[in-house]
Structure 1
Amino acid sequence: MTELTEPDNVPAQPAPDWPEARGQDITDPQVAQAVARLLDVPRLPTADHEAVYNGLHDDLLAALNGDPADGGPSGAAPAGGEA
């Protein structure tokens, strides 16, 4: 029967190179805060990544459905609407 675990003397796998976090150009504070959560992902166990991504999705959806941070251009008609 073949062992499913590796022996103790096998060297550890190198950690993946994570891309640098970008987002300095994000102007919406709600989106910036949500995206900042990605900075924790490299330090988390893989099993916890799904929860972070699900939370990020929910936060970005809330930001998308919420009011714009800057209120948008004043006097602008909504897309598809009339002024």
Structure 2
Amino acid sequence: PIMALATGVLATNPASITLNLKDLHFLNSSGINLLAKFTIEVRKHPDVRLVVRGTPDIPWQSKSLPNLKKLHPALVLLMD
């Protein structure tokens, strides 16, 4: 359901999509995999800017979110 929602938003070809994960304290490997797959999908739409907001205070975010930039170098990662 979440991936369908995300790809549905992407299908509308917005100028920007922001994922605010700052309050998400836990995400299992399936959720991280979903983020990676969505990042790859967004990469196929160069007109769509992907912004991911996270915090360095949550361990999974500080370890996993920077890897999204490896999948999509144009991704804007805000760790504040």
TM range (shorter): under 0.3
Would you tell me which structure has more strand in proportion to its own residues? 2
Please identify the structure whose Cα radius of gyration is greater: 1
Would you tell me which structure has more helix in proportion to its own residues? 2
TM-score by length of 2: 0.28
For CA contacts below 8 A with separation 6 or more, give which structure has more relative contact order: 2
TM-score by length of 1: 0.27
